[in-house]
Structure 1
Amino acid sequence: SYDPKPYGNLTSIHVWVKNDKGEVVFDAWRNNTEMYYEGEWVTGEKILNGRGGALYYMPEDFEREILWSSNGKFTGMEDIINEFGKGCGFAFFSGHGSPGVWADHLPGIPGNRINSQIVGLTVSQVKPYFPYFSLPFFPMEKLSNENKLPVVVVGGCHNSQFNVSSIPTLLDIFLLLLFGKNMWMNTYGQLVPECWSWYMVKLPGRGAIASIGNTGFGWGWEGEFCTVGAGDGWITSEFFRQYGENGYDILGINYVQTQTSYINHFKEFTLPECWWSPDAGWDWIDEKTVQQWVLLGDPSLKLGGYS
């Protein structure tokens, strides 16, 4: 049976095939297969291969509310909107994205990515294909955290791609399919008047006071190396380490220190033992990780509030 648990990285799989007479003609087990829910380890409270997730480094007096698909607290947009409405100091999203959407998957991605995707929060639900729209048209407008504004860190592709607007995002898919012209909106025809990260910040009195995320494709390391490998997972969790462990509590200084720490670390880092993509050292992944990680908001903000 499918029964995921947080940090539950061992899975046993039973596969059998029956013929038209109902007889089992194939039967096999694969026991203790390793499966890591990368985004949950990156945001979480435990150490993996010598490096913790974001919550591992945060001060113990911070209240923690963890919405994961594995613990049953993240099943769709309403879960995010309702929890966000209570207010928080920091919000960390780690999953998949586009300029208009942040989403994640059920643990293990059962039934392939389309069938196991859970949409977490979108800018709009207007698109040029059936059913064309869903209500509410602009779900972020339902955020109700009046004057309780967090700093949002988002891990995913393109969530901070700030050069999008309504008409180009709607035309993008048609121009690509009909004329082969790619406008690089990366919105797949969805109406996106402003990118996810900026829409979150620009909401009056609600949403976020600042956001940090990727303008381009985010690179994530898979499997047991998800907390230590290069790219999106490392730099986003490092922001919280710089705050909780090193005491950088001015937003802009923390942001710069996080980038500096990434560069210093990965200039010397290699991961030749990685089974799916050995890391031989500093490369284009590292360069784009730092260059595309954008802060939208006031860099003079004091993290944790003013006493």
Structure 2
Amino acid sequence: EDGEVVFEAWRNNTEMYYEGEWTTGEKELLGRGGALYYMPDDFERDILWASNGRFTGMDDVINALNKGAGFFFMSGHGSPNVWADHYPGVPGNRQHSSIVGLQVITLRPWFPFVSFPIMPADTLSNGEKLPVAVIGGCHNAQFNVSAIPAFLNVFSIFPFLPNNYMWTYGYPVPECLCWRLVRNPNGGAIASIGNTGLGYGMPGKACTTGGGDGWITIEFFRQYGTKNQHILGMAHSQAITTYINSFDMEDMEAGHAKTVEQWVLLGDPSLMIGGY
């Protein structure tokens, strides 16, 4: 933002595409725009990206959401507990360049054991100014988690012990992030859409056109913005239908069938987005 360079490094003239920013953004790539490309012009846009310096951690996301919104769209990486993204170029590899955007619980079975606030997503206080949340990332809507199985998942690091596939890494996650947003009595979201399992994405130039999580989340906003699908369940279901009609559902390696099967709506499908 304001021309400030946040990160600058270039090797071998490699093409760089910040896939989540293309997916959420306003521009067209290979004939398909990001989500904001399809939204009505009179919608106010508040873009928090690592590349524009406005996304540096959870405080940025929580402060923006507390102002209220009609839609809330994140595209990156996740687990039942966390949604996160990376600094541009992933400097220092994923371990050192990850930025957490929202988290259910910070308790963990290793030092320092807890960070504050303990339940960051629960601190959202946007009252009745509730957005429809679309969360692009792995497992953010994995609604079968609970605290004890989530904690026991820490033992999956030992190959001789069974893996319960909670994908929580020992954090005692009581509920997945997508549902935690909806059930928040003081704010959060009026409904949420996300993946119950591993969300697939296309790296590089095909990030908006190649299918997977990026494609179907964009399609939700295209259905709302250009196809006048303003009933929540219709926008969600038509995004799925359009995906099925656009890709080969028998191509199991591409993950197309999995993409539509795991993309769930948590909320009232009869909701008129924005009200009557």
What TM-score bracket applies, with the shorter chain setting the length?
over 0.9
Deviations 1:262-298 (A, max 9, x none): 0001139xxxxxxxxxxxx733500000000000000
Equivalence map 1:1-40=2 (5 Å): 3=5, 12-13=10-11, 30=12, 32-40=13-21
Gapped regions of structure 2 (runs ≥ 5): none
Among candidates 105, 109, 125, match of residue 144 of structure 1: 125
**Number of residue pairs aligned between Structure 1 and Structure 2:** 272
Report % sequence identity.
61
Residue 192 (structure 1) aligned with residue 187 (structure 2): no
Residue 287 (structure 1) aligned with residue 268 (structure 2): no
Distance apart, 1:142 and its partner CA: 1.2
Partner Cα separation in structure 2 for residue 209 and residue 165 of structure 1: 22
Deviations 1:212-265 (A, max 9, x none): 000000001000110001100000010000000111000011111000000001
Among candidates 228, 245, 257, match of residue 238 of structure 2: 257
Structure 1 residue aligned with 2:164: 183
Distance apart, 1:180 and its partner CA: 1.4
Partner Cα separation in structure 1 for residue 236 and residue 25 of structure 2: 20
Distance apart, 1:4 and its partner CA: 5.0
**Which residue identity is paired with 1:3?**
V
Structure 2 residue aligned with 1:124: 105
| Structure 1 runs (4+) greater than 6 angstroms displaced | none
Gapped regions of structure 1 (runs ≥ 5): 14-29, 269-280
Deviations 1:82-109 (A, max 9, x none): 0000000000010000000000000110
Deviations 1:127-158 (A, max 9, x none): 11111110111001211101100000000000
Structure 1 residue aligned with 2:78: 97
Partner Cα separation in structure 2 for residue 57 and residue 105 of structure 1: 25
| Rg larger in structure | 1
* Alpha carbons 2:6, 2:53 under 8 Å: kept: no
**Higher mean displacement: 203-212 or 232-241:** 203-212
Distance apart, 1:36 and its partner CA: 0.3
SS in 1 for 2:84: strand
**1 or 2, which has the higher strand percentage?**
1
Among candidates 256, 267, 271, match of residue 297 of structure 1: 267
SS in 2 for 1:34: coil
Partner Cα separation in structure 2 for residue 4 and residue 234 of structure 1: 28
* Alpha carbons 2:240, 2:260 under 8 Å: kept: yes
Structure 2 residue aligned with 1:20: none
Distance apart, 1:197 and its partner CA: 0.3
Partner Cα separation in structure 1 for residue 111 and residue 210 of structure 2: 39
Partner Cα separation in structure 1 for residue 160 and residue 89 of structure 2: 38
When the two structures are superposed, what TM-score results if normalisation uses the length of structure 1? 0.85
When the two structures are superposed, what TM-score results if normalisation uses the length of structure 2? 0.95
Query: How large is the RMSD of aligned CA atoms in angstroms?
Result: 1.7
SS in 2 for 1:249: coil
Partner Cα separation in structure 1 for residue 44 and residue 251 of structure 2: 37
SS in 2 for 1:33: coil
SS in 1 for 2:14: strand
